[in-house]
Amino acid sequence: THFGARTVREDEKAGMVRSLFSDVANKYDIMNDVMSMGIHRIWKEAMMDWLAPRPGQKLLDVAGGTGDVSFKFLARAGSGHATVLDLTEGMLVEGRKRAEATSLADSLTWVSGDAMALPFEDNSFDVYTISFGIRNVTRPQEALNEAYRVLRPGGRLMVLEFSQLPNPAMQKAYDLYSFNVIPRMGQIIANDYDSYQYLVESIRNFPDQETFLGMVRAAGFANAKYRNLTMGVAALHSGWKI
């Protein structure tokens, strides 16, 4: 049946995503810097600028991986707590190691779980972030619905994800670069062509800014807006639970 076929593909995606990030966990941070030429750091700072963390806030950082966003959030807030949730145990292990080398270890909780079925009660967090994660989630709308559920009224959603370039000529140039260069770089640097091919395809297949904005609104978020980063190579989406 149509439903059966779709289910198989979805199962395959979740398994593939998990094995991808299990394999790269111990070199994830360095690969991130190399492949993005450090730009992901600038984007995460832009995320923090818009989010403006405040002392005492409780953050849930979904698909938080090795905790990049949570570390930045806690540093800016000055005090508070961050829960990092990820599907891949190996990423959390790397993150915990990072935390133990800092004074922030006590302000962090590491939880394995799925963005589409969060193991938390309703109205539990002040802020929900997901950075370069929702693209990998099998059904992104379900992740957004869950974000809405676990945020308290007055809570804030912030999504950082690759996006589409509004300028068609630029998008074309970017496609040529990404489909031709990125998988080959992945082959050379990480000896892994297929994962970087997946990376590029998942970016191209993810909804554009306006479509994703509609999904944020459909989850119930108010005052939903987005900002492009680097001409739309990435975008931030923000929304409020009121």
Record the tokens describing residue 86, joined without a space. 């990820």
Which is closer to ligand SAM, CB of 77 or CB of 91?
91
Binder among 53, 64, 155, 232 for ligand SAM (CB under 6 A): 64
Q: Answer yes or no: is 122 a known binding residue.
A: no
Closest approach of Cβ 242 to ligand SAM, in Å? 26
Which is closer to ligand SAM, CB of 170 or CB of 189?
189
φ, ψ of residue 30 in degrees (nearest 5): -70, -40
φ, ψ of residue 202 in degrees (nearest 5): -65, -30
Look at the alpha carbons of 172, 206, 158, 224 in this order and tell me if their dihedral is positive or negative.
positive
Q: Answer yes or no: is 29 a known binding residue.
A: no
Binder among 59, 74, 77, 91 for ligand SAM (CB under 6 A): 91
157: left (phi over 0), alpha (psi -120 to 50) or beta: beta
According to the binding rule CB under 6 A, does residue 133 interact with ligand SAM?
Answer: yes
224: left (phi over 0), alpha (psi -120 to 50) or beta: beta
Binder among 132, 148, 212, 226 for ligand SAM (CB under 6 A): 132
DSSP lists the bridge partners of residue 62 as 85, 130
DSSP characters for 221-232?
-EEEEEEEEGGG
Q: Answer yes or no: is 173 a known binding residue.
A: no
Record the tokens describing residue 214, joined without a space. 């509609």
According to the binding rule CB under 6 A, does residue 69 interact with ligand SAM?
Answer: yes
Record the tokens describing residue 177, joined without a space. 């670069």
Which is closer to ligand SAM, CB of 66 or CB of 209?
66
Binding site for ligand SAM (CB under 6 A): 17, 21, 62-65, 68-69, 86-88, 91, 114-116, 131-133, 136-137
Q: Which residues are known binding-site members for S-adenosyl-L-methionine?
A: 66, 86, 114-115, 131
Q: Which residues are known binding-site members?
A: 66, 86, 114-115, 131
